[in-house]
Amino acid sequence: MRDGKIRITLLDITVTLLLAAAIVYIIYRIRVGLHYKWNWAAIPQYLFRYDAETMKLVPNLLVQGLAMTIRLSIWGTIIATLIGLIMGLFRVSNSLFRRLVGRTYVELIRNVPPIVLIFIFYYFISDQILVLFDLDTFVNERAPWFRSLFGFLCAPVSRCSAFISALITLAIFEGAYITEIVRAGIQSIVKGQYEAAYALGLSRWQTMRHIVLPQATRIILPPLAGQFISTIKDSAIVSIISIQELTFQGMELMSATYLTFEVWITITVLYLVLTLSLSLGVARLERSMGRATA
C-alpha cells in the first residue's frame, strides 16, 4: 500500500476466487451429498419471539445465549484483569517468593487444558467452597429488585453457583495471559525511568504507581482489549457445564430442531458481529494511542 492506496494483486484475486469456489462447492456438497433441506425461515423465531402479554418482541434462545456470553466475558475480563495486574506485579517483584508465585501461576494455568480447569473448578468450587457461603440462599432471600438486577447483570438465580464457578474458571484462565501482558508492559519501560525515580528518593511502590504504571498502561491497553476478544471466544468452553451461553443454546436448539447448519451459521455470525466490532474498536484505540504518543 503506497500513498494510502490499496493495491490489488493477481494473488489477491486468485485467493478470493479460490475461496469463493470452495464456499460454492461446500454448499453444493451439502445440498447434493447430504440431501440437506435448508430452513432459514425458522431461525428468526429463535432470535426473538412475540410475547402476547407485553405485546412486543422479546429475546429468545440465541439472543439470550449471546447476552450470557457478553456477561461472562465482561465480568471475566474485569476479574482476570485484577488477577493479571496482581500477578504481573508479582512477576517483576524484587521478592523471590512473589516471582515464584507469579511464575507458577502462569505456567500452571497456561499449560493445562481449559476443559480440565472447568471440571476441576466446577466440581470443587461449586460443591465445596460455594456451598459454605450458601450463595443461592443469600440471593434468593434478597429483595425482588436485587434478584432482578442480579439476573440482568449475572445469571438467573437458579444458575447462580454454576455461573460463579464458570466465571472464576474463565477469569483464572484468562488472568494468566493478562499477567504476561502486564509483565511485558512493565518491563518495556526503560531502566532510566527507575533510576530517575530512585534519584528523586521515591520508593519502589511510588515509582511503580506514579511513573511506571502510567506509562505501561499505554502499552498494555491495546493487547488487553484484544484479550477481551479472546475471552469472548474462550467463554464457549463453559457450555460443557450447562452454562446457557451462546454455544450451549445452539447445541440445545440443534438437538431439538435438527437445523444443524442454520443454527451454527447463525451462531458464527453472532460471534463474528461481536468480535469484529470489538476488533475494529481495538484497532481504533491503537491508532488513537499511537497518535497520542507520536
Express each pLDDT in 171-223 by its tens digit.
Answer: 998 999 999 999 988 888 888 887 888 888 877 788 888 888 888 888 888 88
Report the CATH number of the 37-293 domain.
1.10.3720.10
pLDDT attached to residue 180: 92
The confidence score (pLDDT) of residue 17 equals: 92
Confidence at 291, pLDDT banded by 50, 70, 90: low
Cα dist from 180 to 85, 147, 203, 205, 266, whole Å: 9, 37, 24, 20, 34
The answer, yes or no, to whether residue 293 has pLDDT greater than 60, is no
Q: What is the pLDDT of residue 125?
A: 67
Of 197 and 294, the structure prediction assigns the larger pLDDT to: 197
The answer to whether residue 79 scores a pLDDT higher than 90 is yes
Q: Which three cell numbers stand for residue 118?
A: 472447568
Sign of CA dihedral 112, 118, 123, 129: positive
pLDDT in tens, 34-45: 677 778 888 888
- Summarize pLDDT for 131-157 with one digit per residue, the tens: 666 677 777 777 888 888 888 888 877
Kindly tell me if the per-residue pLDDT of 76 is higher than 60. yes
Q: Which has more confidence, 125 or 92? A: 92
Separation CA 185–CA 30 (nearest Å): 48
Instruction: Give the residue from 230, 101, 234 showing the smallest Cα distance to 169.
Output: 234
Q: Please state at what angle helix 260-293 crosses helix 61-91, rounded to 10 degrees.
A: 40
* DSSP run (H or E) holding 181: helix 160-187
Read off the pLDDT band of 230 (50, 70, 90).
Answer: confident
- Confidence grade of residue 83 (pLDDT, cut at 50, 70, 90): very high
| Average pLDDT of the residues in 46-67 | 84
pLDDT at residue 257, as a whole number: 86
Please identify which residue in the block is written with the cell numbers 488513537: 288
Residues 6+ apart with CB under 8 A from 49: 57, 58, 60
Percent of the chain's residues with pLDDT above 90? 18
Distance CA 150, CA 222 (A): 30
The stretch 125-136 carries a mean pLDDT of 68
In the predicted structure, residue 75 carries a pLDDT above the cut 70: yes
